[in-house]
Structures are given as structure tokens and as C-alpha cells.
Structure 1
Amino acid sequence: MFTGIVSDIGEITAFTPTAQSQLHRLRIACGYDRATIADGASIACNGVCLTVIASGMSDGKDSAGRTWFDVDAGAETLGATTAKHWKVGSKLNLERPLKIGDELGGHIVAGHVDGIAGIVQRDDLPDMARFELKTTRELARFIAAKGSVTLDGVSLTVNTVHDVLFSVLIIPHTLNVTTLGAWRAGSEVNLEVDLMARYAARLSEMK
């Protein structure tokens, strides 16, 4: 489980097909301590929970001394998330799993992307940015004003909702320490709806 509080920005340094045609292997450079990354560990990458299969330290000219870890992205991940747009040089919001006793700074996030939201409009306001996004009608029913959503792995509070459109306001700190500052109209982002909203809707359907 995660909280949607980004702890690093990683960069894809390799993106290659494996022997199995349905898999692509990614190497991601990051600022994490190599000693803390174990094979089999989970790391959320732009909100997608991926499993570490190898890790080490870079010795190349462009990334010497940086930690790297490898993950495999399968057909489902590539088809259902923005991973299909990832390439060498792509920047990703990273988060390590929640530990017992950690501060819950955002909200409970599973790292299981529900779908892709499209950015309809960006408005740069004094000291912040407002984004309006569009999702599917199926997912829109789980999004409520003042509720929580996870966008590209970042826990955010919903500002307004109108049918399949919703908006979020991003403060300068978040714009600076995540990839959200690069969002533009037309961009696609990973969307995970609030687990509590999903369970509440399911319980309501069973009455």
C-alpha cells in the first residue's frame, strides 16, 4: 500500500522488450539508497505498482553513482496505463510502500491504476495551477468534490466535479517535487480512484 506522497522522481534509462513479447523491461534511475531496495520489493511508478527484479549502482557517464532498479511492465500495464507512452528519458513519480508506523500524509493508495484521465485545461494561477481533467462515466461516479484521487501517483484533493469532468488545484511545492509541473492540456495521466469510494459504492449496490 502507498499514500500518494511522492518521495523521488526517477528517470527511465532503458526500455526494452524481453524475450517474452508481452513484457518490456524498464531500468529506472533514482535517488534511493541502493541498500534499501530488495529484489521483489514494490515501487509505485507514476502510480503503477511495479516489482523490482534487480537493482544496482550506475557507472555510466550520464548517471554515475545513481541507484537504478529494473522492473517488468506487462501487456495489461502497457495497455491500461500511460506506461504505453513511456520511453527513455521519461520522468516518473516514485513512492516506496507504506510501513507500519509511517505517517499517512495522503490517503490509502493501492498502486492499481483504474484508468487514464485526460487533461482538458491548465490554468496557471498566482502561486498554483488548476487542472481540469476528463475521465470515463464509469470512474466519474467514484469522484466527489473534496474527496481524494491519485493522479500519476500523487494524492490530490478534488476541487470541483461536473459530470465526467473534475478539477484539482496544485500548490507550488507539489509542482516542484513531482512531474505535475510538466502537465499540459492534452496530456494523459494515470488515475486511481479512492478505495473508500469504491467500497462504499459496492456496498450500496448490494443493498
Structure 2
Amino acid sequence: MFTGIISSIGKIESLQKFSEDIRLGINANDLGFYDLSLGDSVACSGVCLTVIDLSDSTFFVDVSRETLSLTTIGYWKIGDRVNLEKAMQATDRFGGHIVSGHVDGMGEITERRRDARSEWLRVRAPRNLAKYIARKGSITVDGTSLTVNRVDGNEFELNIIPQTLTHTVIDAYREGTSVNLEVDLVARYLERLLLGESAAKHGDIDSYGSQNELSEDQG
């Protein structure tokens, strides 16, 4: 479990390709390796990954074929920067909102504009995630807990303060940038409870199926 408060920014140091999956080496000098162990979970730009090896200030993770196809990790390359957060402990301060590290879909930055010292971002989400996104609600973008300021169909806007720009990879976002999205878990559980037996009868709707809808929107 995570909070969406980014601990540090890492850098892709190595990328080893296998037949259908990859192994990443992520350099993270500021992450704090004193309590990081093999088997621990780290959210890498919002994707919960397991530490399989450690070396000095670098940790290594394996990424499955499914995760590559459903998240932005499939686009990562050596030198790219990623948001990092270690799994929270019971005694940690809860500064963001409940984040699982299980990405619901990929979004796209459609607009970025300046507003005094802040930046406004407009993000297009897959259509089937729109119902979970509410004004003044929480959403996770590349692992960062953010507040939704406006909603327009399957697009929403975010006001990014200077502190967040400085301490995350958001400052590098441009129009067309793909981002990992995780909607508020509370909204998902509420839907499940309200649907009751209907949800159990028809099974879970696969959030990732919406990726085709997003592609169609892009033309």
C-alpha cells in the first residue's frame, strides 16, 4: 500500500530484455536503502513492483509482459526519470490517499498551461474510468496523489503547485505524454457494493479493456 507522496525521483540505469518481459535497474540515491530489502514493494511511477536485487544505490525489478502492455513502462528507456515511493509502514504519516500501485489505465496529457507559479494539466482518461473521477476527488497520476479540479467527460484538469513540480517527474510532462492512472479505491469499492449481486453475477469489468478506446480518441 502507498500514499501517493513521492519519496524520490529515480533514473532508469539498465534495461535487460528477455523473451517477453524485462528487468529494470533503477538508480535511486535519495530513496533510502537502509530499510529496503529483497521482496519489498516500490511504486515506480505508480506501478507496484517487487525488488529482486540490490546493488549500492540501484535496485532491480522484473516487469511482466502484461504490465508492459498495460502501463507506460513499455515506453521506458535508459535515462528516463521515474517517481518512486516505498510501501508505507503502519507508523508512517498518511499524507496522500490510499494507493494500491495497481494501474487502472493509461491517460494522455492533452494540455499544459501556466497559471502564476503553478501549472494546469488537462488529462484524457480511458472512457470507462471517467465515472470514478470526481471534482475535488483524488486520483493518482504516475504514482502522485493529486486533487481533481475540473472534470469534462473523460478529461480532467489538475493544478500542480511548484513543490510537486520540483519533487516529481510532472515537470517533464508535455502534450502527448502518456501517464499511468489509478482511480480512487474507495470509488471502486462503493460501485461494487452498490451493484451487489449483479457485480458478482457478471464478474469484474476489465479496466484495461479501455486502452483501445483511448487509442481511438487519439485517432
When normalised by structure 2's length, the TM-score is: 0.87
Deviation at 1:33, TM superposition (A): 3.4
SS in structure 1 of the partner of residue 25 of structure 2: strand
Distance 1:196 1:168 in 2: 20
Q: Which residue of 2 aligns with 1:72?
A: 62
Q: Secondary structure at the match of 1:139?
A: helix
Which residue of 2 is the match for residue 22 of structure 1?
20
Identity %: 46
How much has 1:200 moved relative to structure 2? 1.0
Structure 1 residues 140-190: Cα deviation after superposition (integer angstroms, max 9, x where no partner)? 110000000000000000001111111111000000000000101110100
Give the secondary structure class of the aligned counterpart of 2:88.
coil
Separation in structure 1 between the aligned mates of residue 33 and residue 193 of structure 2, nearest angstrom: 43
Residue 187 (structure 2) aligns with: 197
Structure with more helix by fraction: 2
1:34 is matched with: 33
Q: 1:30 and 1:134 mapped to 2: Cα distance? A: 30
Aligned match for 1:169, one of 133, 156, 159: 159
Structure 1: tracts of 5 or more residues without a match: 58-66
- Map of 1:103 onto structure 2: 93
Equivalent position of 1:11 in the other structure: 11
CA contact (8 A) 1:142 1:201 kept: no
TM-score (normalizing by structure 1): 0.92
Runs of 4+ more than 4 Å apart: none
Segments of 5+ residues of structure 2 without an aligned counterpart are: 198-219
Cα distance in 2 between the residues matched to 1:56 and 1:35:
12
- The corresponding residue for 1:112 is 102
Deviation at 1:12, TM superposition (A): 0.4
How many angstroms apart in 1 are the aligned matches of 2:142 and 2:104? 11
Aligned mates of 1:130, 1:82 — CA distance in 2: 22
Question: How far apart are the structure 1 equivalents of 2:21 and 2:61?
Answer: 10
- For the aligned residues, what is the CA RMSD? 1.0
Q: Please tell me the residue identity of whatever aligns with 2:178.
A: E
Deviations 1:89-109 (A, max 9, x none): 010000001100211100000
